[in-house]
Copies of this chain bind each other. A is one copy, B any other.
Amino acid sequence: MTQPMFERVALIGLGLIGSSLAHVMRREGLAGHIAGHARSAATRDVAERLGFADSVHAKPADAVRGADLVMLCAPVGANASLAETISDHLAPGAILTDVGSVKAAVVRDVLPHVPKGVHFVPGHPIAGTEQSGPESGFAELFEHRWCILTPLDDSDADAVARLRLFWEACGSNVDIMDAEHHDRVLSVTSHLPQLIAYNIVTTAADLEEVTQQEVIKYSAGGFRDFTRLAASDPTMWRDVYLNNREAVLELLGRFSEDLSALQRAIRWGDGETLFSTFERSRDTRRRIIEAGQDTAEPNFGRED
């Protein structure tokens, strides 16, 4: 029998990411024991029924006790109080990590509660779907995706290396960067697109002359693409914007400037500006497909 990578892994939060981690850990035999915690009794019931964890706990402290890997998988706004709650129960030598979409705020909220001898290594798998909750997880979620680790200056090198191996065993590629840079990068590749998707769906919901039924019926013209992101978990995303404010606001300023330039080109019939802007945008898609970060199939290869 091969030795599992960790004896006991505690998943604090059993939504899309937590439950997917449980599935892939089980498939790959990465944990001797998977202990899960969820705040809501309904989520714990689903977890018990699906059986993706070996034990399910109402109290986070009971899940982390004796764990050599503890993963915070709740919305980032919950980290400060979760870290405080588990602090006294973390095993010496344990690795404490998280999966949050912002990293500087996680360091700010969690680090004060990390006891000496526990290795805190923040992390973020760039993976997800528009679904949420314990039933939405699946073992393949992290395959071919990047996971970014943002170790602190004094993070234990062995702990970082072990966590890297763990994510690689989940199917991910691992990158290392500092938390502030992570937050700037993700504001572009994730936080701004998500906000724009929410916003366009909001704009379309508030029209007088076009009915909602029309918006739905004719959504294949492009609108439907935005609604996928806009179906994502509102709590998770609220916490992202509250915790990556500066980077998102800076980027929103740029986005609005660029949009004003296009708006002006439309108003004044400036076809050359429109054409050159559109022409330039084509190339990005090609590069994303070449990098293996999206399918080359037209329309994402979707069935309908």
Binding site for B on A (CB under 8 A): 101, 126-131, 136, 144-146, 148, 175, 181, 184-186, 188-207, 209-210, 212, 214-232, 234-235, 237-239, 241-242, 245, 248-249, 251-252, 254-256, 258-259, 262-263, 265-267, 269, 271, 274-275, 277-282, 284-288, 291-295, 297-304
- How many copies, total? 2
CA of A220 to CA of B128, assembled, Å: 8
- Does A189 lie within 8 Å of B238, measured CB to CB? no
- Does B193 lie within 8 Å of A278, measured CB to CB? no
A-B contact pairs, 26 of them (CB 8 A): A126-B218, A131-B298, A146-B220, A184-B209, A184-B210, A185-B215, A188-B204, A189-B222, A193-B221, A195-B259, A196-B196, A198-B278, A198-B281, A205-B280, A212-B287, A216-B291, A216-B293, A225-B225, A225-B228, A227-B281, A227-B288, A230-B281, A241-B265, A241-B266, A241-B274, A245-B266
Contact of A242 among B148, B188, B202, B274 (CB under 8 A): B274
- Does B145 lie within 8 Å of A220, measured CB to CB? yes
- Does A193 lie within 8 Å of B225, measured CB to CB? yes
Given contacts A215-B284, A219-B294, A238-B275, 6 further A-B contacts (CB under 8 A): A101-B221, A189-B223, A190-B221, A198-B281, A204-B284, A297-B302
- Does B216 lie within 8 Å of A258, measured CB to CB? no
Contact of A258 among B199, B219, B249, B277 (CB under 8 A): B199
Going nearest first, the 8 A-B pairs with the smallest beta carbon separation are A190-B221, A129-B298, A234-B278, A231-B285, A193-B222, A300-B300, A230-B281, A201-B281
Q: Which residues on the B side are within 8 Å of A214 (C-beta)?
A: 185, 188-189
Q: Which residue of B is nearest A231, CB measured?
A: B285
- Does B293 lie within 8 Å of A217, measured CB to CB? yes
Q: Which residues on the B side are within 8 Å of A193 (C-beta)?
A: 200, 221-223, 225-226
- Does A266 lie within 8 Å of B249, measured CB to CB? yes
Q: Which residues on the B side are within 8 Å of A191 (C-beta)?
A: 221-222
